[in-house]
Amino acid sequence: MNKTNKVAWFVFVFLAIGVGLYPLLYFVFDDDFGLLASKSDELLANVLWNIGFYGHILLGGVALLVGWVQFSKKLRNTNLKRHRTIGKIYVVAALISGVCGFFIAFYANGGLITTIGFMCLAIIWLFSTLKAYFAVRKGDLQLHQGMMIYSYAACFAAVTLRIWLPLLSLVFQDFTIAYRIVAWLCWVPNIIVAFFWIKKRGLIIG
């Protein structure tokens, strides 16, 4: 691995771990922290929404925290059993977080544009994760690897959202406009990058 790749890998891991741990801050601060500050008192009192919200951010955090490990050839090749165990943890976390994310998308700030954006993200994350799981069960490692790249690209939207949102809010001086844009910008470029990465590696998807 050359110096540039080492730096890119370090940044990738640092962001995955940092944002993976970010949900813990919701237990430190009051209801005026993060996205909770933009929600109504009625919604904050809604039990189902709270289950969906905390299920999404906590399990999504777990998926971020463990998912990057699977992309290290060294860690994967030295202990295949560990790779499989981490993979199972990732799949469970991603599926629960994805379902919760789809549900809370109905209540997203910014209306229909935002809701559809986050719903599409949830569907892609759920589909690619399930496809990757069933592919490895059938022994199709190429399809498994390709779909896991798509899955983690969708998962990594949690990171890119937190990069884009403050920048867009600064540019437009309007949180709602910024949030409508970031509902798509946080994941569409990730999936495009994943597509070209899969193509470069010669993985067969289908």
Convert the pLDDT of each residue in 77-86 to its tens digit.
788 889 899 9
For residues 164 and 172, is the Cβ–Cβ distance under 8 A? Answer: no
Angstrom distances, CA of residue 196 to CA of 10, 149, 164: 21, 11, 22
Is residue 22 situated within a structural domain?
Answer: yes
What is residue 95's predicted lDDT score, i.e. its pLDDT? Answer: 98
What is the average pLDDT value for the chain, to the nearest integer?
92
| 75 pLDDT higher than 80 | no
Is residue 42 situated within a structural domain?
Answer: yes
What is residue 36's predicted lDDT score, i.e. its pLDDT? Answer: 82
Of 76-85, 157-166, 167-176, give the lowest mean pLDDT range: 76-85
Percent of the chain with pLDDT over 70: 98
Please, which pLDDT band fits residue 126 given cuts at 50, 70 and 90?
very high
The token pair that represents 192 in the structure block:
């495009």
What is residue 205's predicted lDDT score, i.e. its pLDDT? Answer: 63
Is residue 34 situated within a structural domain?
Answer: yes
| 204 pLDDT higher than 70 | no
What is residue 27's predicted lDDT score, i.e. its pLDDT? Answer: 85
Is residue 206 situated within a structural domain?
Answer: no
What is residue 203's predicted lDDT score, i.e. its pLDDT? Answer: 75
Is residue 97 situated within a structural domain?
Answer: yes
Q: What's the rounded mean pLDDT across residues 174-183?
A: 95
C-alpha angle 193-195-19 in degrees, rounded to nearest 5? 45
List Cβ neighbours of 61 (8 Å cut-off, separation of 6 or more). 19, 20, 21, 22, 23, 24, 158
Is residue 136 situated within a structural domain?
Answer: yes
Structural domain harbouring 30: 3-201
Is residue 19 situated within a structural domain?
Answer: yes
Rounded CA-CA distance 127/137 in Å is 15
Tell me how many domains the chain contains. 1
Which of 191, 179, 205, 200 lies closest to 117 in space, CA to CA? 179
Is residue 150 situated within a structural domain?
Answer: yes
How far, rounded to the nearest angstrom, does the alpha carbon of residue 44 sit from its chain's CA centroid?
23
Place of tokens 């640092």: 14
Rounded CA-CA distance 163/151 in Å is 19
List Cβ neighbours of 19 (8 Å cut-off, separation of 6 or more). 61, 64, 158, 159, 162
For residues 21 and 65, is the Cβ–Cβ distance under 8 A? Answer: yes
Of 3-7, 59-63, 147-151, give the lowest mean pLDDT range: 3-7
For residues 153 and 191, is the Cβ–Cβ distance under 8 A? Answer: yes
pLDDT digits (tens, 9 = 90+) for 36-73: 888 888 999 999 999 999 999 999 999 999 999 988 88
Which contiguous run of DSSP H or E holds residue 115? helix 112-137
For residues 19 and 159, is the Cβ–Cβ distance under 8 A? Answer: yes
Which of 82, 86, 87, 90 lies closest to 63 in space, CA to CA? 90
